[in-house]
Amino acid sequence: MLSVLGATAVGLLVTALGHPRIGVLAIGVALIAAAVLRRALPQVGMLAVRSRFTDMVTYGLLGVAITLLALVMEPKPVLDIPFLESAVRFTVR
């Protein structure tokens, strides 16, 4: 838990210092790592509030979504998703 929180804190700090793509990417990777760690660790003690499956799916989907958003950030997006520009123009008129 501390490693995921530490990586997220580093991502927030890097974002605040003016490198948003790198910071948001670090946050997304930290959430993906949380999903992997939740699957790999046999016992989580008092942290086991939800089922393992729920935690893995939630952390995994949020991590992938945040990582993809970091890769399509302007300026100079690393990843080009064709329908994204029309979806943004439709929602933000």
Taking only the tens place, the pLDDT of each residue in 37-56 is 888 887 766 566 678 888 88
Structure confidence at residue 47 (pLDDT): 60
Both structure tokens of 5: 């929180």
C-alpha 29/C-alpha 15 separation (Å) is 14
pTM listed for this prediction: 0.80
Structure confidence at residue 17 (pLDDT): 94
Buried b (16+ CB within 10 A) or exposed e, 15-33: beeeeebebbbbbbbbbbb
Chain Cα centroid distance, residue 65: 6
Both structure tokens of 39: 């699957």
Q: Of 23-27, 56-60, 67-71, 75-79, which range is least confident?
A: 75-79
- Tell me the pLDDT tens digit for each residue of 55-71: 889 999 999 999 988 88
Residue 50 phi/psi, 5° resolution?
A: -110, 175
